[in-house]
Amino acid sequence: MARAKSTARAEARRRYRAAEDDGSSMDGTEDVPSTPGAGRTAAHVGTGSAAPGRIGMRAAFTQAMRPLNVREDLAALPWIATHSKALWLPLLITVGSTIAAIAVGGTNVITTFLFAYFVQTPAIGGVFIAGFLAPRASWLLGVIVGLVAAACYTFIGLSGVIPVSPTVGSTDVVVSSFILSPILGGFFAAGAAWYRRFLALSNPNHGRRRQAQAAKQTAKRGDGRTRGSQKAGARR
């Protein structure tokens, strides 16, 4: 008698699962896994809002802007300097370009290019790299890189390794370098950081990556049920 009841229950469960499979195939949705937690996760991902595609140019333009927060940016500077290459990489290129220009005298194409873009005011190459790689405080990194470039340019100009314009005196070189280079460096670096965010927001795969990351986090967290309740549901 007990065996007959067990067989009847097994047959009923088989017909119920078959009916569920037929229903899911008819409405066009994906099959839900048998595990209750996985099923709820899959249903949450499947019935969620569709991944947003590329947003409009105007929306990407405005969303890429970030407010200036001087206190938090200054507090984050040590972490940025030690955990990212946004600061030390452009500084290394600037110092290396200065050494190369002094060693060669700016007589070949490579050293002339490095001197023009990473040392000479405004040193747009170094500050652009700093702003593009900065996780935050891009303007501050641009100011720092601009100050280092100004010091290098002043040293080269005063030493006479690479002659500056004949109409510009030594005092003019020092003043213009240490005023213009950090100011323009901050603006160029902030513009580079904005441009990086603008490209990320206007990328068609931006929304898909965000949805994939959200799905992974949801799968790691689970549905909040205990293991005992999952086992009980599986036995049912």
Per mean pLDDT, which range of 13-27, 57-71, 76-90 is the poorest? 13-27
Residue 50 binned pLDDT confidence (cut-offs 50, 70, 90): very low
pLDDT tens-place string over residues 7-46: 666 676 666 555 444 443 333 333 434 434 444 443 443 4
- Higher pLDDT pick, 58 / 143: 143
Single pTM value for the model: 0.62
pLDDT of residue 37: 44
Output the average pLDDT for the chain: 74
pLDDT tens-place string over residues 112-140: 899 999 998 889 999 999 999 999 999 99
Contact 90, 143 (CB under 8 A): no
pLDDT of residue 20: 47
Residue reference for tokens 């405004």: 122
pLDDT tens-place string over residues 163-210: 665 545 566 777 888 999 999 999 999 999 999 888 888 876 655 555
Task: Give percent above pLDDT 90 in the chain.
Answer: 34
